[in-house]
Amino acid sequence: MNDGELRELISEQEIAKRVAELGQEISDHYGDEPVVIIGVLKGAFIFMADLVRNLRFSPIVEFVRLSSYGDGVTSAGKVRFHLDIETRIEDKHVLVVEDIVDTGRSMVYLREVLLLRKPKSYKLCSFLDKHERREVDVRVDFAGFKVNQGFVLGYGLDHAEKFRELKGVYVLEK
């Protein structure tokens, strides 16, 4: 790749183990309560599919599409909303599933939009939590892995729409 080299950060086996654990944690949390799971496209689609298969309940599945990166490796700082959910979430538990929480701006924006719709509860599950880059206050209720280095890709995360198919997570090194 012209932009740098890839170094594996999290293996396919580590991901499978952690996603199974998250499925258990989330199932224990909600019990038999109905849940609307909202995946943030495009990056969370692989994680969300694996996560849903590890739940002990059958959620309502929805998607939103936000963007803040474009083709770069740093946040543009402005969130754009491209796709909204179809399900009414008033008085329902909502679990947002994200690929990575970095600056937190996208998740603050989405939380504000969804809370206006009066859900019974709102929780956030993120495959990767990059807490040291936070610019706003965001709580990740269920975190897959905490990362603090470099630009990561693979397992749904991309660089200019490439590398989503990688089964592990990699750091892009210049």
CATH of the domain at 80: 3.40.50.2020
Q: Number of structural domains, the chain?
A: 1
160 dihedral zone (left: phi>0; alpha: psi -120 to 50; beta): left
**Given 50, 99, 102, 129, which residue is catalytic?**
102
Q: What's the domain range around 70?
A: 5-173
pTM: 0.91
In 10 A of CB 144, how many CB atoms?
A: 24
C-beta separation of 166 from 11 below 8 A: no
Residue 123 sits at φ, ψ, to 5 deg, of -135, 155
Known catalytic residue: 102? yes
pLDDT tens-place values along the chain, 174 residues long: 456 789 999 999 999 999 999 999 999 999 999 999 999 999 999 999 999 999 999 999 999 998 775 455 555 567 777 899 999 999 999 999 999 999 899 999 999 999 999 999 999 999 999 988 889 999 999 999 999 878 899 999 998 899 999 999 999 887
- Tokens 């799971």 belong to 37
CA distance 172 to 88: 39
